[in-house]
Structure 1
């Protein structure tokens, strides 16, 4: 499963990167996130986060690790639990008007028996991507005010 969305905001790239690179802020822009806590690290490569998310009425815990951290440009995280591996990549590009374009790609590799139901989950992942991008845009626009 793959979610690939681009969001534009009038907020500066520095503001947007700082906000989204702090993965504890997922609670503000990701509708599936119930809670995210930093477990270790300073936010850079190797930082670990404990994430609790809700999807299709079920709550699940994932451990995320920052795999790449390029200030103002890109952040990559890998999340995992017993049923899924998630790869989240956010890239940041300044826009001509001083704002930011954020491309958010989330790839989910289902494990074990959950692979069988993967095709049935596609519409739910599409809705999640749509809702997350709308909520991300609204949250980032508040940074610009």
Structure 2
């Protein structure tokens, strides 16, 4: 899934907000809780436990920040049934930032059989990110 949105804040501030995956509680409609598991400055290798609700079920994934660049963040999440990959790319657009957000899920084992039937629900969640992420990032104060 891919969505493009504009956030009315400078690129560096949008990246600073999104590099802390704990903020997913504010902008991801599926996230119930997201807690950082390590300490110290945000860096590649930082990890979070993200608890999400989907179709009435709650599941937790361990996410890691695998790419941290000035205009790109990549998070990889995993548990026993799914691998998630979130790729965020940022482009300056005047005083605002254009964010291209790509998310992919790869199910494991028997769960793979259900993935074609869940696409519509994942697309709706992605639409929810477009509705929630820009105002959350614009309201954030470091």
Q: Distance in 2 between matches of 1:76 and 1:132?
A: 16
1:102 aligned residue: 99
TM-score, length of structure 2 as denominator length: 0.93
Aligned pairs, number: 140
Q: Distance in 1 between matches of 2:45 and 2:2?
A: 24
1:48 aligned residue: 47
Instruction: State how 1:93-132 maps to structure 2 within 5 Å.
Output: 93-95=91-93, 97-132=94-129
Q: Distance in 2 between matches of 1:123 and 1:111?
A: 19
Q: Distance in 1 between matches of 2:133 and 2:31?
A: 12
Displacement after TM superposition at 1:17 (Å) = 0.6
Displacement after TM superposition at 1:15 (Å) = 1.2
Displacement after TM superposition at 1:143 (Å) = 4.3
1:25 aligned residue: 23
2:13 aligned residue: 15
Moved over 2 A (4+): 140-144
Gap runs ≥5 in structure 2: none
Q: Match of 2:37, SS?
A: strand
Q: Distance in 2 between matches of 1:15 and 1:67?
A: 19
1:38 aligned residue: 36
Q: Is the 8 A contact 1:11 1:143 kept in 2?
A: no
Q: Is the 8 A contact 1:15 1:143 kept in 2?
A: no
Gap runs ≥5 in structure 1: none
Q: Distance in 1 between matches of 2:130 and 2:109?
A: 29
